[in-house]
Amino acid sequence: ITNKPNRNLIINGAMQVAQRGTSSVNQGYSTVDRFRSINAGVDEGPTREQADVATGTTPYGLGFRKSFKTTNGNNTNGAGSSDYYMIRTSLEAQTIANSGWNYTSALSHVTLQFWVKSSVSQNFYGHIRTQDGTGQRYAFETGVLSANTWTKVTKTIPGNSNLQFDNDTGPGLLISIMCFFGPDYTDNSVSLNTWGPYVGGTQMPDNTSTWYTTNDATFEITGVQLEVGSVATDFEHRSFADELRQCERYYQVLAKGQGKYFNGTACNYTSTQLFMPVTFKTEMRSTPSLVYAEGSGYYQLYDSNNTSGINFNRPTSFEYKNTLGGSFYVGASHISGLTAGSASLWYAANAAALLAFDAEL
């Protein structure tokens, strides 16, 4: 069965979900879920965004409406030897271990496909990299892209006896597309389309720097699919709700940018301490860290003796937590005037408020 459900091992490959926002100048996970961009040595930071796929293009006709797009800054000092800019997605080790890919056999394959577009015509490189055991890498190229033209890239990748994927929730497989990698990380002796040991200074052949040194050059990607087998099947389009649920294993939002938004019911432990329990919408990959925005009056509490509200600028911490939930704690350094022993209602009272949980790889 070539079009069986749940064959795409990539989460959010159609770039539908962007819980953190649709545009950012920050690297890491900052816009499209499960895809991060990483850079070093840039003279001016790139912009990342969840962009619209233009009507009339082939990806649009195939049902793609969103892409991950980056706009390059102005690297006036040229391409430094240690400079880089990449787009990456990470898969849990157990995802590969339980995928059905006999990854230690050269006779068993996975197939990677994606659509890519660059405003500059050149060849780009990428690699797949394993994380368990002795790290291995499989370098590949896109081929020379025509400027401002969507191109589909397909790579069929065999297993190898050196590959290891532990059956756990840690990082197992990294898929990286390089807009530019400086010569500190590259060497023309590297062979494409074959497995080799991962070494930081020899990850792929030398990169062309044209895109990197072109001010406001753009790079877009969508339709990322990794599946078991040697044939690239039609992209598995999943609903927004399905993709969001899978993304929430790694990052989920309790409140974001919503004035007077009800977050939950808290218990006033003392006049200066309260706890608000939270149950995650889906079990997270690991015990998450708390992400929050802080500002005067961002959050508000109402209890039996404070019907006009008590303002506070942020939670103090997130306590008693595991992959299923935990409890917000607000202490004396951030709040006072509570009615001890009373229940209180917690609101996000400012459009800039943010409460989220991060368990990313």
CA distance 147 to 72: 15
CA distance 222 to 51: 10
Q: Tell me the pLDDT of the chain (361 aa) as tens digits.
A: 467 789 999 999 999 999 999 999 999 999 999 999 999 999 999 999 999 999 999 999 999 999 999 999 999 999 999 999 999 999 999 999 999 999 999 999 999 999 999 999 999 999 999 999 999 999 999 999 999 999 999 999 999 999 999 999 999 999 999 999 999 999 999 999 999 999 999 999 999 999 999 999 999 999 999 999 999 999 999 999 999 999 999 999 999 887 778 889 999 999 999 999 999 999 999 999 999 999 999 999 999 999 899 999 999 999 999 999 999 999 999 999 999 999 999 999 999 999 999 999 9
User: What are the angstrom distances between the C-alpha of 247 and each of 12, 166, 250, 356?
Assistant: 7, 22, 6, 13
Cβ-Cβ contacts under 8 Å for 266 (sequence gap 6 or more): 274, 275, 276, 301, 328, 330, 343, 344, 345, 346
Q: What is the pTM of this model?
A: 0.96
